[in-house]
Structure 1
């Protein structure tokens, strides 16, 4: 339920103005940090959120590295004093953010918010990923060729053991091994060899003259559905999937 001092995401996207009201939204996706230069040629940081409520989803740009740890996926927040710019909500140093009660977001709206948040990481070819420097953050897409079994390994410099699962991804430029660690293994649920997937926010790993990709705290894997150009794009959308173009 939207209170009188609040404005729904649906309404603010129509009006393009928040006025003196607030938005309550659930963070479904958070990108990695991005850099940009301001007018003084100073290096600054921003990141993207996919936020949703009961009525819709919206892309949010948050300026400032200091806010990065404050926003957590699946947590809900009140947004005050934000800037609306063409259906994008901008959080600046003047914005006021506070946690709020849980919000029940419909499943289809959650998926919209996920796409908004994670689409901000550009996808490169597997060939480009292989040619990238050590620990470069990349996103790739391709066809799953092979999925390994779960292994338990002991990591150096860390106590205890963790679980690991590997799979092979291929596109027209090459093939690469992707290693998922710990809870990231769950990202492969519902995926099988032959599926086309988009893998966002993984890092390159160089070892013994070979390059692989490691999962990070922000790794997400989305199944894609390849659609022929002749089909109407609106009819080809399917809930819970990205469409490969």
Structure 2
């Protein structure tokens, strides 16, 4: 298990646990292979700080503000000098408390 501070310096294979502090409104984006999906930014908080968490599609309805979650095998991405965490294709999002 890593902290949010440690996760910001990692690229992949991130196992992290925290609480969803706040969620932005979902927005619709176009997919590279065609079609659209919903995407939502949330903020995962632990004792070391916070990291932006990107939720896609049905992941958005699985969590809410205050949810305690575990990301297994997650990855980070940097966009406009901001690091965000996602579960990715091979990761897992586990909601411990809804």
TM-score normalised per structure 1: 0.36
Asked if 1:210 is matched to 2:88, the reply is no
Residue 86 of structure 2 is aligned to residue 221 of structure 1: no
Contact 1:169 1:178 (C-alpha < 8 Å) held by counterparts: yes
Query: Which residue does the alignment assign to 2:4?
Result: 126
Please identify the structure whose Cα radius of gyration is greater: 1
- Structure 1: runs of 5 or more not aligned: 1-122, 225-240
1:169 counterpart (44, 62, 66): 44
Question: Is the counterpart of residue 183 in structure 1 residue 58 in structure 2?
Answer: yes
Q: Which runs of 4+ in 1 moved over 6 A?
A: none
2:70 match: 198
Q: CA RMSD in A?
A: 2.1
Query: Cα deviation per residue 1:150-178 (whole Å; 9 max; x = unaligned)?
Result: 221113x3312111122111112121111
Greater RCO structure (CA 8 Å; 6+ sep): 2
What residue ranges of structure 2 are gaps of 5+ in the alignment? Answer: none
> What's the TM-score once normalised by structure 2's chain length?
0.79
Q: Which has the higher helix share?
A: 1
2:27 to 140, 151, 169: 151
- Residues 69, 93 of structure 2: 8 Å contact kept: no
The structure whose residues are more often strand, as a share, is 2
